[in-house]
Amino acid sequence: MDWVSEKSKYKIPYTAVNGNHDDRAAENPSGADADGICWWTNGFWGGMMWLMHHETGQDKYKEIANISEDYLDRCFEEFYGLHHDVGFMWLPTSVANYKVTKNPVSRKRALHAANLLAGRFNLAGGFIRAWNDLDEGDTRGWAIIDCMFNIPLLYWATEETGDPRFKQTAMKHADTAMSAFVRPDGSVHHIVEFDPFHGGVVRTYGGQGYEEGSSWTRGQTWALYGFMMSYIHTGKEEYLQTAKRIAHYFMANIPEDGVIPVDFRQPLEPKREDDTAAAIAACGLIEIAKAVGTYEKDVYLNAALKLLKTLDARSDWTQASDSIIQRGTESYHNRRHHLPIIYGDYYFMEAVFKLKGNDLYLW
């Protein structure tokens, strides 16, 4: 991170092309095309800088994080590219900045993002709407498991302002996710469609996994760690128990070699992998280990360590690549597989710092 932070100082990376970080800040499409500055992963680079600043005390990381956060103001101006993922974007940037420095501008940005997220809540269905209008048809009733990582922005907003509406909205969404997304065996759906006018589940979709009813691994980790986030902010026991149920399903399906597939129910061939799911799962498992009793915590901690050791052995620690984690996959049916993706690096770093015991919790 010492050298790559300087190299990518004025970028917001998403992946690496020929070993070099790309730059989402340089791409600024207009309207609803959100592949540029409004891309959902654009908070992770800033989050990595805040983790490094916390760990090392070096101001250069804070300066790079500030550059990244300033870039994101363009999203507020464009507006149309924003959707449910504002938590992913402003928790690791503005909320992190405010936690560390008490910067009032960062507080304002984060509260603005929280209000945008709360405004997506569907009262009839008890969920936060995913995305905006898509080519797939009527998506007004769609919610996705990924949003469990966005609602901590609402918990923070209540903690910061004292206004209970944000937390109430977050908990309503989490409660809906518990009943509608999590299956009895601990696996989860990626997309659930609700009736946006009257509530109730209409159908489920396979989303970024192999097919409807399958088990997209990164979706399992959004749920595993996401319910722990809700437990951390609320203390609601059901969230902890739900996270544990999902964790046991995930741990039971970790292959012998520790390499996580894109979908636990995908065909044996082609063998498609997603190292980012392993990194996110490790973070969630470590948080569960912190929350359970002495004789239980090693079950989760040992699984996290297996995943992290496997990632370490598969990573690129040289200057041949700007990325550490090399084999991420966006979705099973995407044309691209086994590429560096920025959140793989972020969650790998977060997990390692958790193990050290003095981490900066950004969620």
Closest CA to 260 of 304, 297, 223, 227: 304
- Give first-to-last CA distance, the chain, whole Å: 22
Quote the CA–CA distance of 288 and 300 in Å, as a whole number.
Answer: 7
Q: CB of 300 within 8 A of CB of 288?
A: yes
Amino acid at 154: L
User: Helices marked H in 292-341 — which ranges?
Assistant: 297-314
**Which residue among the candidates 35, 59, 70, 146 is catalytic per the annotation?**
146
Please say if 146 is a catalytic residue: yes
* Residue position matching structure tokens 């405010």: 98
Rg (CA), the chain: 19
**Which residue among the candidates 85, 263, 275, 359 is catalytic per the annotation?**
85
What is the secondary structure of 205-271 as a DSSP string?
A: E-TTSSSTTS-BHHHHHHHHHHHHHHHHHH--HHHHHHHHHHHHHHHHT--TT-PPBSBTTS-SSS-
Quote the CA–CA distance of 326 and 222 in Å, as a whole number.
Answer: 20
- Long-range contacts, 329-335 (Cβ 8 Å, 24+): 329/262, 329/272, 329/273, 329/274, 329/276, 330/208, 331/207, 331/208, 331/209, 331/216, 331/262, 332/208, 332/209, 332/210, 332/216, 332/262, 332/263, 332/266, 332/272, 333/208, 333/210, 334/208
* Residue position matching structure tokens 């770093």: 349
Cβ atoms within 10 Å of 184's Cβ, excluding its own: 6
Q: CB of 328 within 8 A of CB of 348?
A: no
Helices (H) and strands (E) in the chain, counts: 14, 7
Q: % helix / strand / coil in the chain, to the nearest 5?
A: 50, 10, 40
Please say if 23 is a catalytic residue: no
Q: CB of 1 within 8 A of CB of 13?
A: no
Tokens for 190, please give them. 């990626």
**Catalytically active residues, by annotation:** 85, 146
